[in-house]
């Protein structure tokens, strides 16, 4: 008897932990897929490194927002089903069959989202061939992040201060002629 109780507790905890872990970050109450965050910056460093125009950044924001909106209803469904799982787990004697069924439904919804969220190709189509070459350099640099981190940890690298952003010109009104 005691063995079944312990096994059921372990199973329920595992299902609960997997559900919470797989939910990903939450923004304004809506879970978001890993790696997808709404554009909230000007991306000056990216613009400079790749040579993007303001129009390209605008188009990328639109693509990202469209993909986020398309998957939002699915995230609402995932959240509702996850709440059902949590409620079942909080019950005195959780129903493992119902929990398992809900987890299968949640996984099917996540698979649906992963098909919708793939906006990378669309984003790459915004770039011209020269910008894609520059992006390849960033991809290569990303491959070195772990080595850079480890070299920094052991003291082999000297910290380079970040380059300050370029100042934004501010118009102060019409130019005045100096009186003599």
Which residues in 119-140 are b (16+ Cβ under 10 Å) and which e?
beeebeebbeeebeebbeeeee
Q: Which two tokens stand for residue 3?
A: 């063995």
pLDDT computed for residue 11 by the predictor: 45
Q: Which helix (H) or strand (E) holds 3?
A: helix 2-22
At residue 174, the pLDDT reads 59
pLDDT at 25: 45
User: Positive or negative CA dihedral for 87, 89, 95, 99?
Assistant: positive
pLDDT number for residue 169: 66
Q: Among 42, 83, 77, which residue's Cα sits nearest to residue 168?
A: 42
Report helix, strand or coil for 145. helix
The per-residue pLDDT for 130 is 95
96 within 8 A of 120, measured Cβ to Cβ:
no
Q: Which residue positions in the chain have pLDDT lower than 50?
A: 1-4, 6-7, 9-39, 180
Q: How far apart are CA 11 and CA 97, in angstroms?
A: 11
How many other CB atoms sit within 10 Å of the CB of residue 172?
Answer: 7
Q: What are the boundaries of each domain within the chain?
A: 2-127
Predicted confidence at residue 116, as pLDDT, reads 64
């Amino acid at each position: 008897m005691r063995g079944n109780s312990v096994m059921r507790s372990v199973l329920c905890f595992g299902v609960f932990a997997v559900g919470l872990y797989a939910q990903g970050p939450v923004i304004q109450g809506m879970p978001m897929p890993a790696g997808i965050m709404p554009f909230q910056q000007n991306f000056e460093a990216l613009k400079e490194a790749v040579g993007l125009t303001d129009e390209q950044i605008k188009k990328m924001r639109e693509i990202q927002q469209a993909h986020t909106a398309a998957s939002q209803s699915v995230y609402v469904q995932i959240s509702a089903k996850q709440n059902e799982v949590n409620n079942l787990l909080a019950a005195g004697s959780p129903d493992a069959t119902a929990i398992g069924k809900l987890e299968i439904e949640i996984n099917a919804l996540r698979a649906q989202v992963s098909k919708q969220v793939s906006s990378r190709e669309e984003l790459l189509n915004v770039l011209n061939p020269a910008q894609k070459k520059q992006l390849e350099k960033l991809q290569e640099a990303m491959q070195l992040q772990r080595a850079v981190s480890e070299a920094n940890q052991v003291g082999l690298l000297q910290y380079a201060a970040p380059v300050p952003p370029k100042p934004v010109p501010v118009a102060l009104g019409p130019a005045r002629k100096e009186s003599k």
